[in-house]
A and B are shown apart, each in its own frame.
Chain A
């Protein structure tokens, strides 16, 4: 489905992501774990096209995306829920979701969005910037969903979210993946959340992959060692 091959990303002369290769299979969920500053966000931004890659390939099915702008990658089937949500603060909830409907050319918001996130229906006329962190996270996911992605990319979706909402978020993502049939690539620091949603866990350290395991065989202590300072 999504194949990243020998990807290099740099900030000036400094190498942030080095020679990273991995794949996200059809309907698979891969969790990318690592401490702050290890390159998770940079890698995801390079995949969606918000940050240029220096070398390597980003391929979705048979289409090479590495040289395409973000909006073309979305058109091809990627969707992105960024760290910090980045919802449009002055647009209403409804308009935020409609902004994500470029692939379908706009129109009515599909009912399944409000079925999964009823609170967004209640708040559809409220400005996005006036929602709580948890509500903004749901909105950011809804905005990404309506592009009908093949791969949903989420960058630290639990950041700043209270624990009860985190569990709810994991349940919703699992249900969405099952119903909508997309793959998920999620970066995380909360291991319990990753274990709830991921089929496979990859640990990134200083821009390179250092550990990879399927959830069933996961050595939690080993992963935790990479996550602690």
Chain B
């Protein structure tokens, strides 16, 4: 393997890592921290993608000259809309299912079907795609033989910003402290004075908002259809469970390990065989470490 190919493989791995991480971050909060098995998480990503699509349409209609910067409006819009949708969803739906994992699974699966049908009714069954700004098309060629797609570089940068923001929010703010306390023991959190209902709703909304950002990002690498969310949800759960529920570092490391292994295997095998091998590896690792790679340890 030449140095150029090795470097491109590494870049592809990092690129896939950031996409997996963006997909999994929201779920790591909703499922990993809150324990809500949200089968509609993929549809929240799709919502973020459709908001980006609508924002692009609005820019094309109202301010076509500003299309170069529409992503800087679309991404916060995708976050904001899915955050609000998640907030309303928690208040009106999810809050009735805490500590009932099987009911949650069924209810959110039903919700995912409703959302898919809603997207189909509103946007049609066909795929929609958004135009990339010209500054995100093409590739950067640092040296001869190495071409790094600009949209992928943008996604890597955005993922770093999002991941660092989530870390700071969770571990450096009072809101994050409340969130972590409530996710560890809801009843006791209330008994030390924390308004748990408010924290639950905001935490779920944050996880949903992150799914919205992931959806916005996916419009840069593929088109969107009503079933798009289903493509993402399985990978998101694999990343979170493999890394260890309740461990955000585990989610990051898990996304990195899966992405690098998958891109390496794709170089050696076919794409589908690489995917199957990854699933097999995950099953084997979870057999020996059922709580995931980075399970949180504590005195019993």
Interface residues of A in 85-107 (CB under 8 A from B): 86, 88-91, 95, 98-100, 102-103, 105-106
Q: Which residues of A contact B174 (CB under 8 A)?
A: 98, 105-106
In the bound complex, how far is the Cα of B192 from the Cα of A227, in angstroms? 30
B152 beta carbon closer than 8 Å to chain A: no
Q: Which residues of A contact B92 (CB under 8 A)?
A: none
A82 beta carbon closer than 8 Å to chain B: yes
Q: Which residues of B contact A70 (CB under 8 A)?
A: 187, 190-191
In the bound complex, how far is the Cα of B190 from the Cα of A102, in angstroms? 10
* A131-B191 contact in complex given A88-B181, A91-B180, A106-B174, C-beta closer than 8 Å: no
Q: Which residues of B contact A79 (CB under 8 A)?
A: 192
Residue of A75, A95, A131 contacting most chain B CB atoms (<10 Å): A95
- B193:A49 contact, CB within 8 angstroms: no
How many pairs of residues, A versus B, come closer than 8 Å at their CB atoms? 78
- A99:B178 contact, CB within 8 angstroms: yes
In the bound complex, how far is the Cα of B189 from the Cα of A91, in angstroms? 12
- A88:B193 contact, CB within 8 angstroms: no
B185 beta carbon closer than 8 Å to chain A: yes
> CB within 8 A of A102: which of B184, B194, B299?
B194
CB distance from B248 to the nearest CB of A (A): 11
- B191:A48 contact, CB within 8 angstroms: yes
A11 beta carbon closer than 8 Å to chain B: no
> CB within 8 A of B299: which of A69, A103, A131, A143?
A131
> CB within 8 A of A74: which of B178, B185, B191, B197?
B191
A127 beta carbon closer than 8 Å to chain B: yes
* A89-B191 contact in complex given A95-B177, A127-B298, A130-B299, C-beta closer than 8 Å: no
B54 beta carbon closer than 8 Å to chain A: no
CB distance from A159 to the nearest CB of B (A): 16
B188 beta carbon closer than 8 Å to chain A: yes
Interface footprint category on B? 20 to 34
| Interface mask (B28-62 → A, CB under 8 Å = 1, otherwise 0) | 00000000000000000000000000000000000
B225 beta carbon closer than 8 Å to chain A: no
Residue of B174, B190, B194, B246 contacting most chain A CB atoms (<10 Å): B190
In the bound complex, how far is the Cα of B172 from the Cα of A95, in angstroms? 11
- B298:A89 contact, CB within 8 angstroms: yes
CB distance from B300 to the nearest CB of A (A): 9
- B177:A90 contact, CB within 8 angstroms: no
- B184:A100 contact, CB within 8 angstroms: no
| Interface mask (A135-148 → B, CB under 8 Å = 1, otherwise 0) | 00000000110010
A80 beta carbon closer than 8 Å to chain B: yes
Q: Which residues of B contact A106 (CB under 8 A)?
A: 174, 177
> CB within 8 A of B298: which of A69, A71, A130?
A130
In the bound complex, how far is the Cα of B177 from the Cα of A217, in angstroms? 47
A25 beta carbon closer than 8 Å to chain B: no
CB distance from A178 to the nearest CB of B (A): 24
Residue of A with least CB distance to B187: A50
Q: Which residues of B contact A100 (CB under 8 A)?
A: 192-193
Inter-chain pairs besides A50-B187, A71-B195, A75-B193, 9 sampled, C-beta below 8 Å: A50-B190, A80-B191, A88-B181, A88-B189, A95-B180, A100-B193, A102-B192, A102-B195, A129-B299
7 smallest A-B Cβ distances: which pairs? A129-B298, A102-B193, A74-B193, A70-B190, A86-B188, A100-B192, A99-B181
User: Interface on B for A, CB 8 Å cutoff?
Assistant: 174, 177-178, 180-181, 184-185, 187-197, 246, 296, 298-299
